[in-house]
Structure 1
Amino acid sequence: MSRPTIVLVYQRLSLPWVFEGARRAGIDIVLIPRRDEEIDPARLPEAVVEVLRLDLSDRTAALAELRRRHREAPFDGITTLCDPEVPFVAEVAEALGLPGIGSGTAQAAQDKRVMRERLAAAGLNVPGFVRLDGPDSETDASALTFPVVVKPARGFSSLGVVRVDRPGDLSDALAEVRRICRTNLGRAEDLIVEEYLDGPEYAVESLAYRGEVRVLSIGYKGEPTGPYFEETVYRAPAALPEATVDAIEREVVAAHAAIGLTDGPAHTELRLREGKRPFLLEMGARVGGSGVSHHIVAGAVGADLAADALRIAVGREPERTTTVAAGAAANYIVPCGGSGRITAIHGLDELRDHPSVDHLVQILHPGDVVRPYPDFTGYPAFVLSTHRSTAEAEQFHRHLDESIRIDYAPEGAES
């Protein structure tokens, strides 16, 4: 059987899991790198056989170029781990007759307004919400119970996500989120306002093939209360009663059906109201965290999420192979802890040879400017580790809370 080829959109080389998964799956990668990433041909991952520079801000021209490339040297699939590019990847797959989730499913997985409507229509747990369509639309939030959360409809990470405690503060919050969207997304984004969900937060990694959904892992994500929602931890498996695990799995499987996600990976984030009842925050049609979710699944349950997701993306059946799991896997997302121009990051170098640390991915460096939340600059670093238990992972994260610190100067200061 010949080696299939897949186009991989906007994957950073510093995040290795999908490249390693492609090698294990015997799949060649044509990489479309991010515009801001320098590529050293001598240091490309083994699976990358070609680098194709495309400007995805012009989707029509990018699709035309991919059509030309496919005619001259056909590829077997296209995928991305970058959430904003999921709809474009689905459009390309449809246009070229490649395996994919379909543009309708891609829209539902990326547009929180559509997702909420589909989940509600399927009878799933959904908070009260109103949608704001258009840059100048206003909302009557009188039917909602405050506090509420304002979100860009097609945002990512914590960009523009803000809790509003009083009706009188909503108008100012909407204006601020729209300003952030114009600055970061180049558009005055449509918004959604939904009732705030309290309770602990969890992430679920799943993989679907021809409508059969396998829930691979459930991990603890903390209990952020706002007003902003900076991510800090991810530890799996979560310590939950069997009945709660069953409720989460039922909700996630039903959400796959409601959104129409029958093939490929999903990264779902949810909250447990009163610690028992799952309410989905969002479901991404991709391997989460640009591949971090593979590390979590592999360390917690031994499944090869990255390789199987790529197999599905080129139209092959997942092999569902497993390895011996460490017992628990974790990601410590270094918190910004402030804003301004970074002058120093303390505590990372000491972790590079730590026996529990599998990967240390530094994304921000001295000289970079961090904007204050609810703006979103990026994550300073990921500290990915494996442990014998989630209790041990939690203890390690408490140590990192005390040992990692970022120093800032005012934004206008020289680096």
Structure 2
Amino acid sequence: MLTLPPLSLYIHIPWCVQKCPYCDFNSHALKEGVPEDQYVDALLTDLKQDAHYAQGRQISSIFIGGGTPSLLSADAISRLLSGVRDLVPLQPDCEITLEANPGTVESDKFTGFQQAGVNRISIGVQSFQNEKLTALGRIHGKNEALRAIEQAQQAGLDSFNIDLMHGLPDQSLEDALSDLAQGIAMAPPHMSWYQLTIEPNTLFHSRPPTLPDDDILWDIYEQGHKVLQAAGYRQYEVSAYHRIDEHRANETNDYRCRHNLNYWRFGDYLGIGCGAHGKITLPLQNQILRTSKIKHPRGYLAAKQQFVDQQSFIANEDLPFEYFMNRFRLFEAFPISEYSERTGQPLSSVEKTLADAEQQGLLTIERQHLQLSLKGHRYLNSLLESFLAD
């Protein structure tokens, strides 16, 4: 039987100064100023229509992503978050993250965001080397990245994250470790360190750059992981690390991204804004609903009342793959009973697959808890294929 999991809120801001050649997110290059008042109005109307999906739950985290949310003014973010509080209840310690591009951050903007209610900033640095930033189509340079991090440190936030990429065009092991060393020197509480991948429908897909070979990529990952560990960062997800702080040891007050944890634990989330996706558990129907909103800003702003583009239920036969595809991104152990609680499916539907995986050394089952092994993480794609419906 399905039980209601924790609930988050994702808010999508679709505009960027320019589209990066590797980006496959729903983002649109600005041709004129951001219509922020009109868009905030639409977002709040969108949320009002979805508010009943909260089903009595408080919002545990909010993530304002994009696009480039830091293009919005602090006043717009303040009005947005105030409107959200009027429509859905928030947990007292709700984590509220806003993504920021160093090239769109003015000297006092982070302080304004913090005063508006944002308590966590995620800064899209990607690299500290100007030539690599140019190759990635970024509009900022090294100095702007360092200045943005310093502003986040001074803004009185609960936490902040920096995004760093590796496996960049023509990147050497030394280049990658240099970026990582610069990032660590800034002492962010959280780091997202992930490999550049070439996605369909991007400029890099149609005009592929020269990327490092597999041996260099593995050396970058292996040595970079050791560097992060030695600097006091713990990997808790495939591409996410948080600084270990003995004074912030419990889950409600540590440096992991609670919003992403809820995604990977197969929690629920409302999605508002252009192209935003949502996942909603409906216990009475014993089903899970997927929603997506109108993608293009022009169409979204013209919608007025009907923002949903598509919605569908996840088929029962697809639930094992959907659940484990998310859950196995995390390095933590978790109770086996969670599978049935989050999917509504009996444990018997996956018992043989789990037993086979344990025999192969891909995971361990102990005291009714399941945990992926290091071997399991290395061969994750093959393991996940075993949960696909025939």
TM-score (norm 2): 0.28
Q: Which has the larger helix fraction?
A: 2
TM-score (norm 1): 0.26
